[in-house]
Structure 1
Amino acid sequence: MSMRLLQHRAENGARSVIAATAEGAFFVTGVDSVRALASRAIADGTALAEAVEACGTGGAVDIAAELAAGRLVSPIDHDDPAHLIMTGTGLTHLGSAEGRDKMHRAAAAAETLTDSMRMFLDGVAGGKPAAGETGQQPEWFYKGDGSGLVAPGDALTSPAFAQDGGEEPELAGIYLIGPNGTPFRLGLCLANEFSDHVTERHNYLWLAHSKLR
């Protein structure tokens, strides 16, 4: 059974976690954040759904009403925003690779494979390694820390230096680093890749510079 986890902030500032399944949505008792819930699951060696069951649930929640009221916050956060890192990968799908390749070719005017396309093809060849092998790393970029998170429905602010502000729907993976340094994937969420595409098109090396939020 699939489960969605949402973070909630009441009018008085009290934080809570909502667990939503096909049977309905309910407040999870005993935890005030998804990070706290996940930390319990990691410590106990259980799945998130089992951690929710162990905590128990309280009153039912109308998610649509809470969203409309602005009481849903980002699906993950940290008390110290510097301890949350937002990163991304480029050239992980064909459309991105082709677009960057055309831009690079226009600059290089060469018939050989560009750096962008070579990077993409390396990922196709080695992006899904067999067990025990090391795969080809993607093109990583740093987007910001937790201070750049924007809650569902909140306004996106474009900084004064931006030349453009474009929205891109994305799937974001949420990971929590355990006490021994092991990354645990908590799940996926919808995200908005707010970017400055004018800056990105100016120079393909400015991908990281173009990320606004």
Structure 2
Amino acid sequence: MGIAFRSRRATGRPESRLGRQRRYLAGCEVLDDVKARISVNWAKSEPRNLLDFYLLPAHTFDEKPHKALTADWPPVGTGPMAASLEGGAILFERFDNPHHQGRIKSMVMFSSGSPDEVLDQLLNGEIHGAIHHAKPPPGIRPNRFFSTEQWYVALNTKSSLLADSAVRRALDLTIDRDVLRAAILKHDIEGPNPPLRVN
């Protein structure tokens, strides 16, 4: 069994929410099949008002089949892309220029309310990535784009893809695109895991 939980602690200006969230949550430890301990940095009279819990079945974390990484499979990294808000999703379209022609023509990112659905998509390589509190595209008002909730989901490290610490680190850093961009530039380009390209 796994556990996924979200916190409603993050309020206020979008750029300050994540830091406040991390100061509040100290850690999550699975004690046994039916118990988990979540630690916080300061006491609240009723912490359950701030946290929602979802128990995931054990098979969620089993090894899942992955799509073969063949030459015709679009890379995770993209070149320049234009973004637009379509309902509850963000649509990215390739924007070619004289210096770069991206191999991904378009992709859609959206939030899902079901943590086991998110895990299933992630483990089967069905999504390109996740964006949490990313800077809104031009013309989109922040109060329509940002959420006051932050999701925390356990990843299956037994999976061949997620066993790679560089992949897990990249997923974690997608919380902040500026931090992700800086970390990628420092990554060893000649290593077994080429860096993602973020624009």
TM class by shorter chain equals under 0.3
| Larger Rg, first or second structure (1 or 2) | 1
> Which protein is richer in helix relative to its size?
1
> Which protein is richer in strand relative to its size?
1
Length-normalised TM-score, structure 2? 0.25
